Structures are given as structure tokens and as C-alpha cells.
């Protein structure tokens, strides 16, 4: 559980620069989702082009976005997608870092 909170905090720090979040106030996944949701709602209000450009840049599947069409609290659900994608990136980096540590130092670049 502590490791999961550590990953959430790392995600908050990484997302804070791009999303102008307040990482010091993020003590849980719920708090992070709340801040992301507010930012996403603002982007959605600007129109579809900025929103879809952002989703493309974050590598969030268009199919996942389409599934949310017409649902309630879209910004909250998109925030969950953004957070899930960020967590995937963090976990992937950690796994690759661990795998790279297993390589013979003479064979590393």
C-alpha cells in the first residue's frame, strides 16, 4: 500500500508541471483526481480541438474517449484515464530500470 501511495505522489509531481497542480496538497488518489478533473473541465470548455490534441499527446486511446461520450461527469472519467496512463508510464519505467540493472555493466551502453 505504501508503494502505491508513493507511485501516486510521483504521478502528482510529474503531472503538476504540465497541469499546474498543487502536488503538496495531494495526499491521495482522490485528491489528485479532483485537481485533474478541474483542469480537464477547463480544457473541455475550450472546445474539442484542444482537448483531442491533449489526449493524443498523452497517448490516451480515442476509443476510450468515445466510450465516455454522453456519460455524466466526463471530466472526472477523463481524469481517471489520464491518471491511469501516467501510472502505466511510471510502472513501466520502474520495470525497465530494474531490468537494466540486471545487465552486465560491460554490455551496457
Nearest to 82 by CA among 49, 46, 56: 56
CA–CA distance, 82 with 88 (Å, rounded to integer):
10
Residue 21: how many CB atoms within 10 A of its CB? 21
Q: What is the pLDDT of residues 5-41, one digit of tens each?
A: 788 888 888 888 788 888 777 778 898 899 999 999 9
CA–CA distance, 81 with 73 (Å, rounded to integer):
13
User: What cell was used for 109?
Assistant: 551502453
Average pLDDT, the chain: 84
Q: Is 47 left (phi over 0), alpha (psi -120 to 50) or beta?
A: left
Rg (CA), the chain: 16
Tell me what pLDDT residue 23 has: 73
Amino acid at each position: 500500500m505504501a508503494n502505491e501511495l508513493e507511485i501516486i505522489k510521483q504521478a502528482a509531481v510529474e503531472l503538476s508541471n504540465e497541469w499546474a497542480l498543487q502536488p503538496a496538497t495531494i495526499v491521495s488518489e482522490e485528491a489528485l483526481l479532483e485537481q485533474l478533473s478541474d483542469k480537464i473541465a477547463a480544457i473541455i470548455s475550450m472546445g474539442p480541438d484542444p482537448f483531442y490534441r491533449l489526449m493524443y499527446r498523452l497517448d490516451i486511446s480515442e476509443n476510450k474517449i468515445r466510450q465516455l461520450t454522453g456519460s455524466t461527469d466526463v471530466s472526472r472519467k477523463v481524469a481517471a484515464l489520464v491518471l491511469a496512463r501516467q501510472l502505466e508510464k511510471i510502472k513501466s519505467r520502474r520495470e525497465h530500470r530494474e531490468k537494466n540493472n540486471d545487465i552486465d555493466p560491460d554490455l551496457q551502453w
